[in-house]
Amino acid sequence: MKHKKPKMSGISLSRNQQLQLKELDLFIDFLSDFIDKIQKSKIRVIDFFENIKFCRELSRERKAFYKYINSTLKSFVRLSEPKQVDIELRYSKAVKKFNKLLPTAKKEIESEFGLITRYLLLRELDKFIKIIATAQNKMSNHLYKDNSQEILSNPDLYNQIASDWNNLENK
């Protein structure tokens, strides 16, 4: 089945849209699209009102993205484990790429936009980052258990793991 790519304007993500499990890959496509948009943020508008319009458009996209992610996460937990692992891995890689672009994107926003637009854009970006990080945590926590506290509070377990690493390092 060929997936239809969601539009960044959010128009294609209507309120009543029911996502099928097979369409889960759209999740990744959507994030990639957003990364592309940040990369293309150099195509800025000069007029103040145009800037505000641009910010409102981003805000709409962010809200659509939030709804989309929540809906997709509900589908995610119903998938088979290998599929979940695959999606979590691809999403993590997309987030990694996104995080690498962030400093440049923020610098561009700070240097190329006026005060109000700058404030609005950075606020939108922060909200996007929170949504993306929360989604990643939800997926990771569903698949993987964080054993760090258990290891640190259990000397026998800590020593066992240290011994495993020591054996690996000194073979």
Partner 1 sequence: MIKLFRGDVILAWGPDGKGGLKKRPLVVFADTPKNSDSIVVYCTTQNDGDENNTIFVKADSKDGENMGIDDDTYIRPFQIGPINAKAIIKKIGRCALMSEIQRLHDKRMAQR
Contacting positions for partner 1 (CB under 8 A): 81-82, 85, 89, 92-93, 96, 140, 143-148, 150-152, 157-158, 160-162, 164-165, 167-169, 171
Taking the complex as a whole, the smallest distance from the CB of residue 165 to partner 1 amounts, in Å, to: 5
- C-beta closer to partner 1: residue 47 or 169: 169
Strand segments, DSSP code E, in 53-161 are none
Taking the complex as a whole, the smallest distance from the CB of residue 43 to partner 1 amounts, in Å, to: 27
End-to-end CA distance of the chain: 49
- C-beta closer to partner 1: residue 60 or 90: 90
- C-beta closer to partner 1: residue 67 or 138: 138
- C-beta closer to partner 1: residue 102 or 151: 151
Distance CA 93, CA 99 (A): 10
Apex 102 CA angle, 139 and 138, nearest 5: 10
- C-beta closer to partner 1: residue 52 or 95: 95
Contacts of residues 13-21 at CB distance under 8 Å and 24 or more positions apart, as own/partner, are 13/64, 13/65, 13/67, 13/68, 15/67, 17/71, 19/68, 19/71, 19/72, 19/75, 20/75, 21/75, 21/78, 21/79
130 token code pair: 């929170």
Taking the complex as a whole, the smallest distance from the CB of residue 78 to partner 1 amounts, in Å, to: 16
Taking the complex as a whole, the smallest distance from the CB of residue 24 to partner 1 amounts, in Å, to: 18
Residue 140 neighbours by CB distance under 10 Å: 14
Taking the complex as a whole, the smallest distance from the CB of residue 68 to partner 1 amounts, in Å, to: 24
